[in-house]
Amino acid sequence: MKMKPYEHPPALYPYREWSLGEDTYEEEYNQRSESVFALGNGYIGMRGNFEEGYHGTAGTTVAGNYLNGFYDTEPVVYPEGAYGLPEVNQSMLNVTEARIIELEIEGYPFRLDSGKVHSCRRWLDMQTGLLHREVEWESPGGQRVKLAIRRMVSLRHKHLAAIDYAVTALNFAGTLQFVSALDGEIRRSEASADPRLGSGGARPSLLLEDSGYEEAAGVLWMRQRTRHTRFVLYTAASHRLQAASGRGLAPQLDGQRISAGYTAGVQCGETVILTKYITYYTSKDYPEEELQDRSAGVLKMAEGCGFNGLADEQRAYLDQFWAHTDVEIKGDPALQQGIRFNLFQLLQSTGRDGVTNIAAKGLTGEGYEGHYFWDTEMYMLPFFTYTQPEIARKLLEFRYATLDKARERAAVLSQKGALYPWRTIDGTENSAYFPAGTAQAHINADIAYGIKQYVQATGDVEFLVSRGAEILCETSRFWTDLGYFNPARGGAFCINGITGPDEYTAIVNNNAYTNLMVQDQLIYAYETVLLLQQEYPADYARLRQSIGLTEGEAEMWREAADRMFIPFDEQLGIYAQDDTFLSKRRWDFEQTPADKYPLLLHFHPLVIYRHQVLKQADLVMAMFLLGDKFRLVDKIRNYQYYEPLTTHDSSLSPCIHSIISAEIGDLAAAYGYFDRTVRMDLDDINRNAKDGLHMAAMAGSWMSIVNGFGGLRQVDGTLCFDPALPEQWQSFRFKVTARGQLLDVCIGSEAAVYTLLEGSGLQIRHRGQPVLLQPQQPVSLLLARQLEAVIFDLDGVIAGTAGLHDQAWQVLSDKKDAGCRQLLEQLTPADLLPGILELLDSLAQRGIACGLASASLNAPLLLQRLGIGSRFQAIADPAALQKGKPDAEIFLTAAELLGVPPQGCIGIEAAAAGIASIKAAGMLAVGIGSREQLGAADLLLPSTAELTVEKLLALFGRKV
Ligand code: BGC
């Protein structure tokens, strides 16, 4: 489905570089704002709900507090079960609400739906990590107050959150009352037919065991136990009141809610502040009997620091984060805000203790029930690998920590080795719909890819040796057991009955993405075993012992990789998504109205599976991840085939299309896809931000910048850049960390500047050229491309005129010609078209190479007869090509033979198909002929006599 040029929607939140804010309160958008104003620290997540609770229309709020990895289970009821389907489903719990602060002013409760709201602002500051709310409110009795509320979830202290609640009396003297509460009677969101939401919880999952109030310490506490998993949750809050006079209120217990509070006298103009410190501890992390003491310790520490002290720590933490992570986009405030917001939310949602991970919606909502998917390794992990490698390691440690469960799962599926779950919290499979779940075995290869990328980027071989190798071996065993050398495919290694990343196609044989990724994994596993054998014999022995690795197993992986079957369609010249994809009927996009998207909500899966239609990048994803396995021409051709069939119904899709569009030279498309990804939640593009933020798309927007516009690829551990600046921007800048060295990359309109901010020296590549960076010595490299080569067609450009030779020419240039030697003999240099010889001379003088892209098999002979054979450094051989014009292949092949990137070439053609071929190759096109025929050319000349090197250079300069 061809994407229309993306039009930026009106701003839902004003564009600000370092913050996200709203200047009014609108009930209609409340749920969405709860998601985007979420705070978190990788463990605790709090949606942006108000301290006083919510008094709006039912269904417009989800009060949410989450703890990463803290879940309960419910049995999955299958009307028609089958062997090996998950029996229970895990859901991240919405835990006890601890933020409640109810304020009364002279007996009037402060609520946004009563009295008079004079002003109401809130903003999330991404530099300080604080959520602010400022309200000027007048009670029904006429007392006017100003509230300044600051909230944080501490990035330094995993179990701690804090609220600083300041009330200033603006026009009265009187009494304020604060009631602070813990409310444990929380349910998850309602069940829904939308598979992207949760299955809901019929009954409350948290059962009260005990609660209390310690008056001396001002601490409210509550102990609850989950219904099925039997985990203990210990929630506590302590309070500090800053007021000239105040006294405590008696605690109250009401069902699962416990409250206590204060009254305080206030003079006109005076401010009273209540600070509330909140902790969450669970028995998932510590023995039950320790929870209370641990909580008390942290609360004491927090009170000692005070809110401002904690805020200083928070700021310092974020200064460090941004110093390694910030992305700057000059000239585009909307996208600048978008990218920073995404990176900030990623930090907030990512588990970093080795036993938790990143849920699809982070800690911002209950969509996908807090489950972890392949999203982690393929989308989020690269961001952390290159900016916060210590967090990346923790994410991979999670996979190691759950390897046993993956082994068990493989056994259930009658397979050797280990199969990671498609969706999980604790490592067990939670996917009840196996065609788009367990069948996505590619997750094994995705994890392997993540390990390889991490180890190469960081040099953390210790991780590979101590943990990664075991994961690689066990998941490789799975593959060689699942796949087989198929006699019907000439003994090629085939993998059947799986689903690739595109969830609109299920249970197929030989999904190209999967087979390519498995091939890569098997080679890496083989190399890792060799590494251990040769350099870490003790670890090798340990591994052999612990997993029973046998002689010859690694060789078998290597052989399977070497003989891997990759489906390719010779006729179309593209990789087939799988064995049968190309034989299906194409989806009828013309007859599908906009309101029928996403298709998954409007069509039975079988209807979708029967068609050529994609939910998300599949082969296109492989072209990004395994770029060196594809020629540029394959990338272009595959992209042109699959992109129009892709609905992007998954938010994981546009960013990958942005990256490949940038690589094949379509910066406008790359920008459009990026725009759509980077503000997916801030503009609520998929209209479901209310259910939580799209973490993979957020991380994908980072990849669109760094891998897309920055052109970063890691080749055997070396960072290789091929940057390009979208015309909408003045410049952009990002940072990457590799092997402990911090690199700053700034791309402007003229030059790319690489600065090694930390480290001792780093070798990178810029557009293929090696560059050695020394600390603090910026290296500036011009971006303007030189015209390096001109690639000619023969017919109508070099020769082929009217009269005698016109006819001869037709015969001679015909591929089928064999007996035209006589006619050929008649050609002489005089048959060259006017201006060509002069042009060839001028090009040679300037050192600009010449190539030929002619479909004629006689071309070499013809050039010889015309006396210009030696002027051409490369002639694309049409017999060796898969496809003729208008396919890009012939021009790209000529460029490849010349060793020049397409962006350094101009192609010259006299036929429309030829112009199309040049454009598809990403080159500038010069047409010789009429506008009616060759209107798509970048420069049109009536005849070759007009063709001069100056005109070519001027055309090229325009592009630059
Ligand atoms: C996508 C999957 C993804 C999941 C969770 C689905 O819509 O198709 O690729 O893993 O969402 O983000």
pLDDT, tens digit (0-9, with 9 covering 90-100), for 671-689: 999 999 999 999 998 889 9
Ligand 1 contact via 688 beta carbon (within 6 Å)? no
| Residue 807: predicted pLDDT | 56
Ligand 1 contact via 374 beta carbon (within 6 Å)? yes
| Residue 201: predicted pLDDT | 61
Q: Which of 652, 680, 694 to mutate to test the pocket of ligand 1 (most atoms within 8 A of CB)?
A: 652
Q: Which of 357, 364, 375, 429 to mutate to test the pocket of ligand 1 (most atoms within 8 A of CB)?
A: 375
Q: What is the mean pLDDT of residues 477-488?
A: 98
Distance CA 239, CA 698 (A): 36
Atom of ligand 1 nearest to the CA of 501: 9
Ligand 1 contact via 100 beta carbon (within 6 Å)? no
β-pairing, 874-875 vs 849-852, is: parallel
| Residue 187: predicted pLDDT | 73
Atom of ligand 1 nearest to the CA of 371: 5
Nearby residues of 113 by Cβ (< 8 Å), 6 or more positions away: 55, 56
Nearest CA to ligand 1 atom 1: 650
Atom of ligand 1 nearest to the CA of 651: 7
pLDDT category of residue 60 using cuts at 50, 70 and 90:
confident
Ligand 1 contact via 648 beta carbon (within 6 Å)? no
**By C-alpha distance, which of 856, 854, 700 is closest to 378?**
700
| DSSP H helices in 536-595 | 537-547, 553-562
Nearby residues of 711 by Cβ (< 8 Å), 6 or more positions away: 662, 663, 720, 721, 722, 723, 724
Taken in order 715, 716, 718, 719, the sign of the CA dihedral is positive
**By C-alpha distance, which of 844, 740, 755, 864 is closest to 799?**
864
Placement of tokens 């002279």 in the chain: 106
Residue 189: pLDDT above 70? no
Determine the length of the chain. 960
Q: Which two tokens stand for residue 375?
A: 């999203």
Q: What is the mean pLDDT of residues 758-763?
A: 98
Residue 804: pLDDT above 50? no
Residue-wise pLDDT for 330-362, tens only, equals 999 999 999 999 999 999 999 999 999 999 999
Residue 960: pLDDT above 50? no
Ligand 1 contact via 615 beta carbon (within 6 Å)? yes
| Residue 83: predicted pLDDT | 97
pLDDT category of residue 215 using cuts at 50, 70 and 90:
very high
Nearest CA to ligand 1 atom 6: 650
User: What number of H helices and E strands is found in the chain?
Assistant: 27, 39
| Residue 809: predicted pLDDT | 58
Atom of ligand 1 nearest to the CA of 600: 7
**By C-alpha distance, which of 712, 724, 785 is closest to 752?**
724
CA of 42 to the centre of ligand 1 (A): 21
Instruction: Tell me if the pTM is above 0.85.
Output: yes
pLDDT category of residue 28 using cuts at 50, 70 and 90:
confident
Distance CA 220, CA 651 (A): 41
Residue 669: pLDDT above 80? yes
Helical pair 442-458 and 389-401, crossing angle rounded to 10 deg: 140
| Residue 29: predicted pLDDT | 87
| Residue 199: predicted pLDDT | 63
Q: Which two tokens stand for residue 397?
A: 């440690």
Kindly report the average pLDDT of the chain as a whole number: 94
Atom of ligand 1 nearest to the CA of 195: 7
Q: Which two tokens stand for residue 446?
A: 């995705």
Residues annotated as catalytic (active site), given as ranges = 503
Q: What is the mean pLDDT of residues 815-837?
A: 74
β-pairing, 924-928 vs 905-909, is: parallel
Q: What is the mean pLDDT of residues 350-378?
A: 97
Distance CA 183, CA 257 (A): 4
Placement of tokens 């609360």 in the chain: 299
| Residue 2: predicted pLDDT | 46
Residue-wise pLDDT for 851-898, tens only, equals 999 988 888 888 998 999 999 999 999 889 989 999 999 999 999 999
**Residue 833 DSSP one-character state:** P
Ligand 1 contact via 696 beta carbon (within 6 Å)? yes
Ligand 1 contact via 650 beta carbon (within 6 Å)? yes
Q: Which of 650, 677, 688, 695 to mutate to test the pocket of ligand 1 (most atoms within 8 A of CB)?
A: 650
Ligand 1 contact via 375 beta carbon (within 6 Å)? yes
The phi and psi torsions of 498 (rounded to 5 degrees) equal -130, 170
Higher pLDDT, 2 or 423: 423
Q: What is the mean pLDDT of residues 364-380?
A: 97
